[in-house]
Structure 1
């Protein structure tokens, strides 16, 4: 198990989303969260839950860093594998890249390549994504404990203790995901 990264200090949760994984065979969903820095307004995305097996790193990925990666991929004008997002993560889970690719597909920033399975491409209006994120309202919150293991269960250490992270029940009308 990777050490917990306390990278959300100074941020507040805007909203939690659910999305499908990249594989058409996968039936369970991923949960991810949009965070905003209290002072600077910087936005970040973090994976928060995997409804099935498969670990991931729940670290905060800054939207500005994602935009730099997307800009480079867009300039190359070639389909790419989800591993292109590996450099965004400090954590070493092999699932990080593909799970984050699923998040970006859900956010309509990238799409599955129409002719080649397992390849992705940047959507032409990807540069509008930060503006769309800014327009997402802060949702009402209920408690949830995200786990870096991704199974959605509380560890024995956490059972009966106050929960420190939030889960929202609203979803942006722009997001292609369900609760």
Structure 2
């Protein structure tokens, strides 16, 4: 082999090695970028879910306190603070409903049911609370059980997204006239 052929062979193998190294490095870099994007995407979804579940936690906490009135009937403490505080409680319920896309369908169902019960609320909140104590307590208990189940799987983004894409888009409208 002469010197010229040896130099061409060395240069061509160096060029080939540099090309293969560059391609491998570029592909590796693209894979890392894709992983970074997926990580950020999942983190953003998880952050939104955490905020939504914090709202649900506040709803549960606001319905945990109960009072027994002089007539021996119980009602939730949220009804004893007057209209302004009850309106703040309703705003919390509405906030959770607005964040429904980040909540499981079971959580959303129980929040909607509590909201449905509240459609009959009138000026006498304490009497309303007494009349609906058991149904609100049952829904709060159901909400709390589903919350405990969901919170343990909150980080599982792919199954959550799959469940949301398979959910029915039908909405059960409440007939206010029949309430």
**Do both proteins adopt the same fold according to a TM-score greater than 0.5, normalized to the shorter chain?**
no
Q: Which of structures 1 and 2 has the larger relative contact order (alpha carbons within 8 angstroms, sep 6+)?
A: 1
TM-score (norm 1): 0.30
Q: Which has the larger radius of gyration?
A: 2
TM-score (norm 2): 0.30
Q: More helix by proportion, 1 or 2?
A: 2
Q: More strand by proportion, 1 or 2?
A: 1
